[in-house]
């Protein structure tokens, strides 16, 4: 096990980058799970095609709308704090969403608001995470470190997360969001 970790993230990258990478991979898996589960949740709450399509939009629009602002914020403020605050807000939103699901009091408007806020905080966390890498690893290792972050995003967020999210949703509509809550909390 130690040799696998050493091959993926060599010790020369430092403990700080190892923690950052673990946090990024955990939260990216959770984001991928939610990407599939969000529209399924709205489809469970309503049969209105506009609302269901809106649930997909709130997952994809925040990067277009907030990436530049997130970049400016990351350039001017403590990036670690941005990641911590964004992930903490995301965890609180997910905890509230799960609680509303469990009590049977969730409605479409609240679900869409929660999915939107979850997506917005993802933009800030991911942006700040990617800008921390050059400060944590040496110039010679920067390409590999960025590749590890990018691989985690593509593999966990884009490829593995959505089918896991859909499968968890099949077990019960609370499971994917509770799973993301667990992963985001672990990533803090």
pLDDT tens figures, 10-19: 888 888 999 9
At residue 74, the pLDDT reads 94
Torsion-angle region of residue 125: left (phi > 0), alpha (psi -120 to 50) or beta? alpha
- Phi then psi for 138, rounded to 5 degrees? -70, 160
Whether 11 maps to a domain, the answer reads: no
Please indicate, yes or no, if residue 150 is contained in any of the structural domains: yes
pTM of the model: 0.91
Specify the CATH number for the domain of residue 120. Answer: 1.20.1250
Range of the domain at 162: 26-187
Residue 103 CB: number of other CB atoms within 10 A?
A: 8
Of the pLDDT bands very low, low, confident and very high (cuts 50, 70, 90), residue 4 is: confident
Give the pLDDT confidence of 13-38 residue by residue, as tens digits: 888 999 999 999 999 999 999 999 99
Supply the pLDDT for residue 2.
66
Whether residue 14 is contained in a domain is answered as no
106-139 pLDDT per residue, tens: 999 999 999 999 999 999 999 999 999 999 998 9
pLDDT band at 9 (very low <50, low <70, confident <90, very high): confident
Percent share of the chain, pLDDT over 70 = 99
Q: What is the pLDDT of residue 1?
A: 58
How far apart are the C-alpha atoms of 113 and 70, rounded to whole Å?
20
As a whole number of angstroms, the distance between CA 39 and CA 56 comes to: 6
Could you tell me if residue 19 is inside a domain? no
Contacts of 9 (CB under 8 A, 6+ apart): 17, 18, 21, 148
Q: Evaluate whether residue 95 is within a structural domain.
A: yes
Q: List C-alpha distances in Å: 67 to 1, 26, 145, 152, 188.
A: 37, 21, 21, 19, 21
Q: How many other C-beta atoms lie within 10 A of the C-beta of residue 141? A: 17
Domain assignment present for residue 137? The answer is yes
Other beta carbons within 10 Å of 95? 15
Number of domains in the chain: 1
């Amino acid at each position: 096990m130690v040799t696998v970790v050493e091959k993926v993230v060599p010790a020369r990258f430092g403990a700080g980058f190892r923690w950052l990478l673990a946090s990024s991979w955990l939260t990216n898996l959770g984001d991928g799970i939610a990407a599939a589960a969000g529209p399924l949740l709205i489809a469970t709450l309503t049969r209105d095609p506009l609302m269901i399509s809106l649930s997909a939009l709130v997952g994809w629009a925040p990067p277009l709308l907030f990436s530049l602002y997130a970049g400016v914020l990351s350039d001017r403020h403590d990036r670690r704090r941005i990641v911590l605050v964004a992930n903490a807000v995301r965890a609180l939103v997910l905890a509230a969403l799960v609680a509303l699901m469990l009590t049977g009091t969730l409605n479409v408007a609240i679900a869409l608001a929660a999915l939107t806020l979850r997506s917005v905080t993802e933009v800030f966390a991911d942006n700040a995470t990617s800008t921390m890498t050059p400060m944590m690893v040496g110039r010679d290792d920067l390409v590999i470190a960025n590749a590890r972050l990018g691989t985690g995003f593509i593999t966990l967020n884009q490829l593995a997360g959505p089918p896991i999210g859909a499968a968890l949703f099949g077990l019960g509509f609370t499971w994917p969001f509770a799973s993301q809550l667990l992963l985001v909390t672990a990533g803090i």
